[in-house]
Structure 1
Amino acid sequence: MSESPSIARVAVILAAAGSGSRAGHGLPKQYRALAGKPLIRWTVEALRRHPQIGDIVVVVDPALAAVAATLLDGTAAGPFVAGGSDRQASVLAGLESLAALAIPPDLVLIHDAARPSTSPATVDAVIAALERADGAIPALPVVDTLKQGGGGRITGTVPREGLFRAQTPQGFRFPAILEAHRLAAGRLLTDDAAVAEAAGLTVALVAGEEENFKVTSAQDLVRAERALLNRLPDIRTGQGFDVHALGAGDGVWLGGVKIPADLCLIGHSDADVALHALTDALLGAIGAGDIGQHFPPSDAQWRGVASSRFLAHAASLVAARGGAIAHVDLTIICERPKVGPHRAAMVQRIAEILSIGPERVSVKATTTERLGFTGRGEGIAAQAIATVRLP
């Protein structure tokens, strides 16, 4: 063995090139939002909590490289490497990118992008096991009775003694696994431990964790979101309120949607009173001041800008605190324009800006029965409540 794992240079290859089709339609599962944050970002941030991890090579479908880079902005993940036709070819591409570095790593961890709950303790155990073996994987013993079947009937019982469920990250001495993957090119082996075994390398087992499951199905997305939210026990709420006057124009921006009308809201930005109230609610929930502190109306750079930028900024501050947006509730107060026909579009747009599910967004509208400035049609008011969860 070469350098001790306790002081070795450790890199990660994140396998993110799969289609994730079993989780339903849309973007692959690794790019879906969970509790206000893309699944792949949860995974990278979990790895980043380990102080020994350096480079994180992300192997992606080339068509989604820009999406992955955007979702992982600020995490110091990269480079982004084009994946191959199967998982093994993709991992080999990641290994070759590390081999091309001026100083390749001593150890490499190969991890599924769809495992967002890996703990530093699991990473510690895998790295420590490389003191005595060429590779190491976390695994859980099989506790259920295993049956063989066909035609809807049991055809046999498989002894479960000595059987384990393999997890990732799977760790290896870098030169050994690189050579093993080169030798195995073209073989459809199901994980990197199998590649190592085929090359005659020794692979140790360390204790895995039930929380470190791989998101595969739509039900797993729900389970993972629940588990991630449970790690954020500090529940806070914030409220926001804003008012803008109405004037003559060609449409009113409300909730991120432009409603056709012979009116407009008057303000320094696009004057989207609904998004302004939501922005203040999020800022209030994390004690980060108000919208005027972050985007002063005296600053010319914000003149006419889309208010979606303000709301996205507030969401990024929640994410920077390691938090998640649990729910936002918005009430728009006006006589005109009519909000009802545009409510669904507003919900969808706000969910998109905040990277949360539309079921976490509520948009309501009411009037003041023609009382006050909103009742006279002189302006629109909005109030909002945001609920966030923090570590």
Structure 2
Amino acid sequence: MHYLATISLLWVHLLALASAKLPSVPHASCTVTASGGDDSPRLLAAVRACSETIIPHGTTLNIATRLDMTGLSDKHLKLEGTLSFQPNIPYWTANGFPFTFQTQITFWILGGRNIRLDGGGTLDGQGQAWYNAFASNSSLLRPIILTVTEAEGVTVENIQMKNSPEWHNFVNQSKDVVYNNITIHAVSTNNNFAANTDGWNTYRSDTITIKNSVIVNGDDCVAFKPNSTNILVENLDCTGSHGISVGSLGQFPGVFDIVRNVTARNIHMSQAQNGARIKAFAGPNVGSGIVQNITFQNFVESQVGNPVIVDQCYMTNATACAQFPSNTVIEDIIFDNISGTSTGPVVADIGCSPDGRCSSITVTDLNLSAPSGAAQFTCQNVVLSGDSASLFPTCSTT
């Protein structure tokens, strides 16, 4: 017994010594409340110091200076209250984090590994001041609310986003990012339109999931920008948007864009400009690329301008498009089980450039109607397959 007791005491002593040599660990949890001034520095300090940062329910933090939360690891930001981005237009246009792609700036960059943002709270971009300013200055740089950048293993869920000055979410050079149960609402209170208020844009990113969300906005519900791969979008309700969009691609000379392995399914689209869309630039001074293995499935659309559209002359006039066709190849595309109503006579338009730039496009189970008269299905320069291919009188079918 004495021998066993001696061994036990020795182990306790050794463990105590080992523990004393361990580095200090971050605080388990920190709570940030409003200071009455700019709360950005206190929020940043808490996120750096603590494993979990809580913004309590009923608390509104004033975000008056930019948030750099990159290089994080194993962090949980529990947003129960509100982050309100103050509409100091001169400050943000000069100090928003810049991204060269499509000349964007952002309020907030979030990056690193194993990060969670949740809590049921709100990100408020206070966009009305920006919508008013943009109405008289179309070159105005407007911030994105949240940019996930150079990140891996990020989950954003149970969050409300409202009135972003421009895009709500930008996923840049990231992998394994999940958005779940996000509510987005961006509507102007006057005649100055809430322009370019996309729900999500993905760029140079892989393995992204966007699901179970409701979006009311004034541009793409979700857009897959260059070099977006292995993406799932499902169970979205989009109102007022420009659609679930691949692209636009092939915009910049000398650049080869890729969008590959994308599935968008179980989508409800209403009062929108487009539904399921692929868009690529043409013209004399553009880039090139490939769109491959894209599935649009189970769309229900109501009062949508273009329920199904492939546009290889995006933002290019007909003369230039005919002379300089798109250099973006589109192949292995499926439109399946898409129903609903358009706002005009054309319910589906698959417009491809000549010389085989579109191939292996399958249309199955289309049930689309026009507001009056017979629905029109138009198509150029592509051979369609599937049980709905015969709806398109101007195309060859297999």
TM range (shorter): under 0.3
What TM-score, normalized to structure 1? 0.18
What TM-score, normalized to structure 2? 0.17
| Structure (1/2) with the larger strand percentage | 2
